[in-house]
């Protein structure tokens, strides 16, 4: 008690678009104030009511968020072997006491007894939990299977779920920096390693076919994608199709991977006609994000990822780019995770994540995926989206300094027309708007401004 379950639970439910149930509130609605239930019937009777409401809530088929009383694990094993993700909202005992002292909570009348209960329950809470969080972002990340922690690379052995064999897919550059640490952490589970080209050239049908031929993973195995967004894209697609689908874990090492590409289950390869035209929705069983890995990034690679950070901040309406790296990554990842959990198959609002990307993909395709990087293309695409939204482009120009792309205008326009995300994403007065249709001359004009004369 005092961890903030009711407050955080309501926020998480709102961010995920799901109903919220607070077990204590439901008991009070049906049986009166909890202190009266304790006084008249005793704690065992309250625990029985609590158990009944938890079971009823878990039996409902629609996904929901449930705030369960801290004592649910003390006398009953309610949270074990349930078809639910159980998150322990952690708080230190002094903070919890400060929040509840002076209230009418039956078990918050004596500080010494409160501390005894806290010490009794803490190991039970952790034992029953699938994940531990300190706030709503942490709960959302847990819901998406994302772990963000400095030093997480060294914990891959315990963070990659399962006990079966592991195949590691990476590129030569990342392998030289982080490959040994990853293999050491995974230990004897690693049965093979596979290298793919660096950058967008990894995302081809030829590379995917080679990986299909090389892999010897059984269905009980896990493919671990260690690298930037291109590595996680192609490795995730191969995992989705090898033996009709095997588990995979994403370990993004670039900023663009940590804040965007490795989250949400989209996997794909490119075709000459367009970017990401062949792919599958295949969520990683775990996305393991170690912000400390960003220290090895050269400036130009950081700028690539910063374009996605700016995009996320514009969507969220917050200057997330001003935060230090660990919190910047965590906040951006949590924003995308919430959107993807609300729309896992990209049928509606997930389209907002394509802000600037319709133009970006057109520029990349027009360049033949050579000479125009994804980050620089996104920066240019954000300029176009902001102009069409009648918004200031100052933050994009100051942080990303995008320069016009040297590509063929006709080819870029043709690629834009073929892009699967033909509706534009713009920023309206009430937030992001997607599937926006504008006259061709306006869109063509915005595209032309992004191309060098």
- DSSP state, residue 451: B
- Let me know if 80 is exposed, middle or buried by CB neighbors in 10 A (0-12, 13-18, 19+): exposed
**pLDDT of amino acid 38:** 80
18 lies in the same domain as 64: yes
Q: What is the CA radius of gyration of the chain?
A: 24
Separation in Å, CA 301 to CA 142, 154, 296, 297, 411: 28, 23, 10, 6, 27
pLDDT in tens, the chain (453 residues): 788 899 999 999 999 999 999 988 888 898 888 888 888 888 788 888 888 888 887 787 788 999 987 766 654 566 666 778 999 999 998 888 888 787 777 777 788 888 888 888 888 888 888 999 999 999 999 999 999 999 999 999 999 999 999 999 999 999 999 999 999 999 999 999 999 999 889 999 999 999 999 999 999 999 999 999 999 999 999 999 999 999 999 999 999 999 999 999 999 999 887 788 899 999 999 999 999 999 999 988 898 899 999 999 999 999 999 999 999 999 999 999 999 999 999 999 999 999 999 999 999 989 988 889 999 999 999 999 999 999 999 999 999 999 999 999 999 999 898 764 568 999 999 999 999 999 999 999 999 999 998
pLDDT score, position 122 = 86
What pLDDT score does 409 carry?
Answer: 95
Task: Give the domain-ending residue among 297, 318, 336.
Answer: 297
Domain annotation covers residue 242: yes
CA distances for 318 relative to 309, 376, 431, 444, angstroms: 11, 22, 12, 30
Q: Identify the pLDDT of residue 113.
A: 85
| Dist CA 289 CA 148 (whole Å) | 5
**Residues 157 and 285 both lie in one domain:** yes
Q: What is the CATH number of the domain that holds 291?
A: 3.40.50.1970
Closest-CA residue to 200 (of 71, 74, 371):
371
CA distance linking residue 296 with residue 294, whole number of Å: 5
Residue 96, pLDDT score? 84
Question: What CATH number is associated with residue 353?
Answer: 1.20.1090.10
One domain for residues 150 and 293: yes
pLDDT for 104: 75
User: Distance between CA 373 and CA 378 in Å, rounded?
Assistant: 9
- According to DSSP, residue 120 is labeled H
Q: Are residues 251 and 378 in the same domain?
A: no
Is 38 part of a structural domain of the chain?
yes
Residue 102 in tokens: 């002076």
Same domain, 114 and 62: yes
Q: Which domain holds residue 421?
A: 349-448
Domain annotation covers residue 323: no
In a domain, 376, yes or no: yes
CA 422 to chain centre: 24
| Residues making up the chain, counted from first to last | 453
Dihedral pair phi/psi, residue 201, rounded to 5°: -65, -10
Task: Please report the pLDDT score of residue 81 as a whole number.
Answer: 66
Residue at which a domain ends, from 137, 163, 198: 137
Residue 373: inside a domain:
yes
Identify the domain boundary among 99, 114, 137.
137
Q: What is the CATH number of the domain that holds 21?
A: 3.40.50.300
Instruction: State in Å, rounded, how far the first CA of the chain is from the last one.
Output: 64
Q: Are residues 169 and 130 in the same domain?
A: no
Same domain? 133 vs 159: no
Rounded distance between C-alpha atoms, residue 240 and residue 244, angstroms: 6
Is residue 106 domain-shared with residue 154, that is, in the same domain?
A: no
The structural domain count of the chain equals 3
The whole-angstrom separation of Cα 435 and Cα 56 is: 39
Q: Is residue 76 part of a domain?
A: yes
pLDDT on residue 57:
79
**Same domain assignment for residues 225 and 88:** no
CA distances from 152 to 186, 253, 262 (A): 12, 11, 15
User: If you write DSSP's letter for every residue of 134-184 in order, what string do you get?
Assistant: SSHHHHHHHHTTEEE-TTGGGGHHHHS-SSS-EEEEEEHHHIIIIIHHHHH
Of 141, 121, 120, residue with least CA distance to 130: 141
């Amino acid at each position: 008690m005092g961890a903030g379950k009711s407050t955080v639970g309501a926020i998480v439910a709102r961010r995920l678009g799901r109903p919220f149930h607070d077990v204590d509130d439901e008991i009070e609605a049906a049986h009166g104030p909890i202190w009266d239930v304790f006084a008249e019937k005793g704690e065992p009777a309250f625990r029985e009511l609590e158990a009944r409401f938890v079971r009823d809530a878990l039996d409902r088929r629609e996904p929901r968020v449930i705030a369960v009383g801290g004592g649910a694990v003390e006398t009953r094993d309610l949270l074990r072997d349930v078809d639910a993700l159980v998150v322990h909202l952690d708080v230190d005992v002094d903070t919890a006491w400060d929040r509840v002292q002076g209230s009418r909570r039956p078990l918050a009348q004596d500080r010494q007894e409160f501390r005894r209960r806290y010490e009794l329950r803490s190991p039970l809470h952790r034992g029953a939990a699938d994940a531990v969080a300190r706030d709503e972002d942490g709960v959302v990340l847990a819901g998406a299977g994302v772990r963000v922690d400095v030093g997480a690379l060294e914990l891959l052995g315990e963070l990659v779920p399962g006990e079966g064999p592991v195949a590691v897919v990476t590129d030569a550059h990342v392998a030289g920096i982080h490959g040994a640490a990853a293999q050491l952490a995974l230990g004897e589970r690693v049965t093979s390693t596979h290298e793919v080209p660096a950058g967008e050239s990894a995302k081809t049908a030829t590379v995917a076919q080679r990986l299909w031929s090389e892999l010897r993973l059984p269905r009980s195995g896990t493919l671990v994608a260690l690298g930037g967004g291109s590595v996680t894209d192609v490795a995730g697609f191969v995992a989705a199709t090898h033996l009709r689908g095997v588990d995979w874990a994403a370990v993004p090492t670039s900023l663009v991977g940590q804040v965007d590409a490795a989250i949400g289950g989209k996997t794909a390869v490119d075709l000459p006609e367009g970017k990401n035209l062949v792919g599958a929705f295949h969520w990683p069983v775990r996305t393991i994000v170690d912000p400390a890995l960003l220290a090895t990034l050269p400036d130009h690679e950081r700028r690539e990822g910063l374009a996605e950070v700016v995009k996320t901040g514009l969507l969220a309406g917050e200057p997330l780019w001003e935060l230090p790296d660990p919190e910047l990554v965590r906040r951006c990842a949590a924003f995308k995770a919430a959107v993807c959990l609300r729309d896992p198959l990209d049928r509606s609002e997930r389209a907002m994540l394509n802000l600037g990307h319709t133009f970006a993909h057109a520029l990349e395709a027009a360049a033949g995926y050579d000479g125009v990087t994804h980050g620089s293309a996104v920066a240019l695409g954000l300029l176009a989206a902001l102009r069409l939204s009648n918004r200031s482009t100052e933050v994009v120009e100051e942080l990303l300094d995008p320069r016009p792309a040297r590509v063929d205008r006709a080819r870029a326009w043709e690629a834009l027309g073929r892009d699967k995300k033909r509706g534009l994403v713009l920023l309206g007065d009430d937030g992001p708007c997607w599937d926006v249709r504008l006259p061709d001359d306006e869109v063509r004009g915005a595209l032309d401004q992004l191309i060098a004369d």
